[in-house]
């Protein structure tokens, strides 16, 4: 049996060069859990599979994009993932090891993560996210990919502190609360958010949330 949805395949950037691969995996697991606790949107949250990959499923593309933005902001310096999103039919194949992910949505997600890997290596180093639709209208996906390229560029230029501040603002925390947590002034928070383009990032995040209403 299959159902439509959004398959996500994530792989760890530069996993073979990591000094402490186990620590990186713990950081990713912790970040995924934090995002799922703060804003549970996944049908099946990202879980490690084989090697340096994780897989998850979302009902809606907007939910997947919102969740992965939070995940990017939640990860610490030195730990990053690429994300391939596949829109289409998702199925499973029974096996002795348990159900195996199968179907056009998963094949599209594989194509997507391969594509973003090529973009990162070739011409857009900040690229981290791409969408491929299997048997669906390409126009909404093309618009979403244009948004994701700009979004990845913004997040890629942030410091660890700015990512923490952006994460909090996207979830509605006040600048005063964030300033106390970071032990800096509210003015410093405001300046950091403004200079990093977090206002645009937050408005895009709210737009994704509005489409779910």
**Tens of pLDDT along 182-194?**
999 999 999 999 9
Q: CA–CA separation, 167 vs 3, rounded Å?
A: 32
Kindly tell me if the per-residue pLDDT of 39 is higher than 60: yes
Q: Delimit the domains of the chain by residue range.
A: 2-157, 158-213
pLDDT at position 213, please? Answer: 58
pLDDT at position 97, please? Answer: 65
* Nearest residue to 211 (alpha-carbon basis) of 63, 56, 86: 63
pLDDT tens digits for range 90-107: 987 777 766 677 799 999
> Has this prediction a pTM greater than 0.75?
yes
pLDDT at position 51, please? Answer: 80
Q: CA–CA separation, 117 vs 127, rounded Å?
A: 8
Q: Which residues pair with 91 in a beta bridge?
A: 2, 102
User: At 14, is the pLDDT very low, low, confident or very high (cuts 50, 70, 90)?
Assistant: confident
CATH number of 2-157: 3.30.70.1230
**17 — alpha (psi -120 to 50), left (phi > 0) or beta?**
alpha
Kindly tell me if the per-residue pLDDT of 1 is higher than 60: no
User: At 50, is the pLDDT very low, low, confident or very high (cuts 50, 70, 90)?
Assistant: confident
pLDDT at position 94, please? Answer: 73
pLDDT at position 15, please? Answer: 86
What value does the mean pLDDT take over residues 44-68?
A: 94
What's the Cα-to-Cα distance from 59 to each of 6, 24, 47, 72, 115, rounded to whole Å? 6, 28, 16, 20, 22
Between helix 175-182 and helix 160-170 the angle, nearest 10°, is: 150
Structure tokens at 208: 């994704």
pLDDT at position 16, please? Answer: 82
Q: Are strands 53-58 and 42-48 parallel, antiparallel or unpaired?
A: antiparallel
With contact defined as beta carbons under 8 Å apart, do 128 and 156 qualify?
A: yes
Give me the residue label for tokens 């970071």.
182
Residues written for the chain: 213
Q: CA–CA separation, 1 vs 166, rounded Å?
A: 40
What value does the mean pLDDT take over residues 31-44?
A: 97
């Amino acid at each position: 049996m299959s159902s439509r949805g959004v398959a996500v395949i994530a792989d760890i950037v530069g996993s073979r060069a990591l000094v402490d691969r186990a620590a990186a995996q713990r950081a990713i697991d912790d970040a995924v859990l934090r995002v799922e606790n703060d804003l549970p949107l996944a049908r099946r949250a990202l879980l490690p599979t084989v090697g340096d990959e994780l897989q998850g499923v979302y009902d809606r593309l907007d939910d997947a994009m919102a969740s992965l933005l939070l995940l990017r902001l939640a990860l610490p310096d030195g730990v990053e993932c690429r994300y391939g999103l596949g829109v289409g039919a998702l199925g499973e194949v029974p096996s002795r090891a348990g159900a195996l992910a199968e179907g056009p949505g998963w094949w599209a997600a594989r194509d997507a993560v391969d594509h973003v890997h090529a973009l990162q290596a070739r011409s857009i180093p900040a690229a981290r996210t791409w969408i491929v639709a299997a048997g669906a209208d390409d126009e909404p996906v093309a618009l979403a990919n244009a948004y994701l390229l700009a979004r990845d560029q913004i997040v890629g230029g942030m410091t660890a502190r700015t990512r923490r501040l952006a994460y909090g603002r996207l979830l509605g925390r006040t600048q005063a609360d964030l300033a106390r947590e970071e032990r800096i002034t509210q003015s410093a928070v405001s300046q950091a958010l403004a200079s990093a383009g977090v206002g645009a990032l937050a408005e895009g995040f709210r737009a994704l949330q509005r489409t779910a209403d």
